[in-house]
Structure 1
């Protein structure tokens, strides 16, 4: 195999691959990236047996072939090469070495046989549809903060992507929750998605997917089966197993009778919460919200470190209310608001609180209160 490829192009392909491989694994081949050169393209394939990413890019292929080499080492070498360098990858048959050359730099890397590299079996997908990258980016970005990190509740360790029936017809919906907060985001249902089974997309896959969705509003081909989900652009294909579990009935925890309405400027609210939480103990980080006649007082009382309070002008016309929240949860939810105002709907100091962006109900958030 002999391939020449521009450094920036190679770095983009290898960085996507090396982020998938597990740093610590007992199977040496899983630390490698499979490089396959044919005609005028090179494919870089990496897997951890749960996720597989394939990045295809144009290159000058002098001699077709395939080999596997350490993904992390190759990435580090390419990252340190000068901008604009032309990188040549060469492997002589039977040598067991990949030569990486750029200008006066020369590296010899150990290889493993391409036959040992595990390729994820192709799946029959129940639904195939196309969605704009900005739509998918919004669905996953606004929900992923609520993914649970508790491994015992593995079925909450991802984003539940499914078709939901609403008053406005079927929607493509993403939901995540950890039992303390919940995010539910809707988008118009793409053509062909109506047969999609509901799947839980794992946390690591959501992180890898984010790299695919950066940049312009290019279309993303999405394929979903009961066991796998695939996202593909012209250059990159990300295939992942889904979490084998049943996502709980989240609709039961979304309050419908909350009538006390607070409207607040979102960025001002987030900054004020951040300021007063500075003095709270890291363990609880509890912030008390006191609401009364278009006034919101945010306060923290931490006996071991101090106290703080800040007043904000808001729109609130209901009975006086005192309610406490984990500052981190409040901040994460407030930071999801793209519009100017956030609307909080309360029932009592012990009931879940609902938050939305202005009058937009396509993205709603639920947060459980704390005792303060």
Structure 2
């Protein structure tokens, strides 16, 4: 194998691929990236056995071939090469080396046989559809904060992507995440071809890697889904992942429908005020008390070891007075999802789950459990 490639193009491709590689590996080949040169492009493939990333980049291929090389070391070398450099890669399979040359810099890297590299088996996908990157980014970005980190409830360690009925027979593409303390449910119009899609739980790590495909709002992402795998692809990059083998709980039962006490507040002002009053506590889980009266909200925190804080906000509220407490971190994360000017909270009683949405928009709904204060 012998090829020439521009340093910036190479760095982008290797960065995408090496990010899925686990830093500590008991299987040496999993620390490597598979480099395959053919035609007028070079392909970089990396996997941790659960996720596989394949990145294609244009290159001058002088001799087709393939090899595997340490992903982290190769990425670090390319990252430190000067901008605009032309990088030459030459594989010496007899010596088990990959020669990397750019200007006067030359490196020899140990390789492992390409035959040892595990390639994820291609699945028969039961649903294939195309969605705009901006739509997918909104679905996953607004829901991922609620993913559980509790390994014993592994079926909550991801985002549940499925087709749902939004009422009146309208089908939507929906993403849901919950950790039992808060829940996010985000809807988007159902893309053509997604109607028969099986519901799948996309793992937390995959959601993080997927974010790198979704930077360009105008890009179209080809999505393929089966019972065991999900694949997201652009013309140059393909991300394939196993899905979590488990059943996502019936989340509809925890979304309150009878909450009638309505609070409207400027989302940015609210987030800043919560952040300020929570400063007096060193505990991340410190409860923030919300005291509601007519068109007035008082946020307060009492920390016996540090002091107390209180801030008043002008709001729209016309129901009975209410006092309710929430984990400050959860309030901040939910308020941080609001793209519109106003956040709308719907309360029932101080011990019941609270519903939050963006203005009158029902396509993004959040539920947060209260705390005793």
TM-score (norm 2): 0.99
CA distance in 2: counterparts of 1:329 and 1:104, whole angstroms: 53
Q: Determine helix, strand or coil for the equivalent of 2:19.
A: helix
* Residue matched to 2:347: 346
* Residue matched to 1:135: 135
* Residue matched to 1:51: 51
Q: Determine helix, strand or coil for the equivalent of 1:91.
A: strand
Q: Deviation at 1:283?
A: 4.8
* Residue matched to 2:151: 151
- Where in structure 2 are there 5+ consecutive unaligned residues? none
* Residue matched to 2:325: 324
* Residue matched to 1:246: 247
Q: Deviation at 1:92?
A: 2.1
* Shift >4 Å, 4+ stretches: none
Q: Determine helix, strand or coil for the equivalent of 2:92.
A: coil
* Residue matched to 1:203: 204
Q: Deviation at 1:306?
A: 1.0
CA distance in 1: counterparts of 2:352 and 2:7, whole angstroms: 55
CA distance in 2: counterparts of 1:282 and 1:100, whole angstroms: 50
Q: Deviation at 1:280?
A: 1.6
Q: Determine helix, strand or coil for the equivalent of 2:325.
A: strand
CA distance in 2: counterparts of 1:311 and 1:83, whole angstroms: 53
* Residue matched to 1:225: 226
User: Superposition pairs for residues 115-126 of structure 1, below 5 Å?
Assistant: 115-126=115-126
* Residue matched to 1:13: 13
* Residue matched to 1:299: 300
Q: Determine helix, strand or coil for the equivalent of 2:339.
A: coil
Cα-to-partner distance string for 1:204-240 (whole Å, 9 max, x where unaligned): 0000000000123210000000000000000000000
- Where in structure 1 are there 5+ consecutive unaligned residues? none
Matched-pair contact (CA < 8 Å) for 2:41–2:58: yes
CA distance in 2: counterparts of 1:263 and 1:283, whole angstroms: 26
* Residue matched to 1:355: 356
* Number of residue equivalences: 372
Cα-to-partner distance string for 1:128-186 (whole Å, 9 max, x where unaligned): 00000000000000000000000000000000000001225100000000000000000
CA distance in 2: counterparts of 1:16 and 1:296, whole angstroms: 46
Matched-pair contact (CA < 8 Å) for 1:280–1:286: no
User: Superposition pairs for residues 155-170 of structure 1, below 5 Å?
Assistant: 155-168=155-168, 169-170=170-171
Q: Determine helix, strand or coil for the equivalent of 2:183.
A: strand
Q: Determine helix, strand or coil for the equivalent of 2:207.
A: helix
CA distance in 2: counterparts of 1:93 and 1:281, whole angstroms: 57
CA distance in 2: counterparts of 1:21 and 1:166, whole angstroms: 38
Answering whether residue 185 of structure 2 is matched by residue 171 of structure 1, we say: no
CA distance in 1: counterparts of 2:301 and 2:285, whole angstroms: 11
* Residue matched to 1:99: 99
TM-score (norm 1): 0.99
* Residue matched to 1:286: 287
* Residue matched to 1:23: 23
Matched-pair contact (CA < 8 Å) for 1:146–1:177: yes
Matched-pair contact (CA < 8 Å) for 2:159–2:203: yes
CA distance in 2: counterparts of 1:234 and 1:161, whole angstroms: 23
* Residue matched to 1:193: 194
